[in-house]
Amino acid sequence: MPTIKVTRADLRDPQYSEVTLVRGEDAAHCEGGVCRELFRVGDEESGPGPHHHLVVSGEIPTASPRYYAVKSRR
């Protein structure tokens, strides 16, 4: 059975760090797993469609990044 490792930084929320880092990221190949933007159509999960990511992380103490979907306008 595989071992899942979770660090303290993974558990911390970036908003409680002294330094909050924010950046944009192209998400052309994201299928919704990282930003948790999956939705159900009947019994099937489907991806989020075209979008970008807003990535927020923290330092002092270190907090792992959180990904938020930003929908693309057409």
What's the pLDDT score for residue 29? 82
Model pTM score:
0.74
What's the pLDDT score for residue 60? 95
Query: pLDDT of the chain along its 74 residues, tens only?
Result: 889 899 999 999 999 999 999 999 988 888 777 787 665 556 666 666 778 899 999 999 999 999 988 876 66
Q: Could you tell me the residue range of the domain that residue 17 belongs to? A: 8-71
The 8 Å CB, 24+ separation contacts for 62-66 are 62/9, 62/12, 62/17, 63/9, 63/12, 63/13, 63/14, 63/16, 63/17, 64/7, 64/9, 64/10, 64/12, 65/14, 66/13, 66/14
Q: Where are the alpha helices (DSSP H) in 1-74?
A: 8-11
Number of structural domains found in the chain:
1
Residue 9's SS3 state is: helix
What's the pLDDT score for residue 28? 80
Q: Report if residue 3 sits inside a domain.
A: no
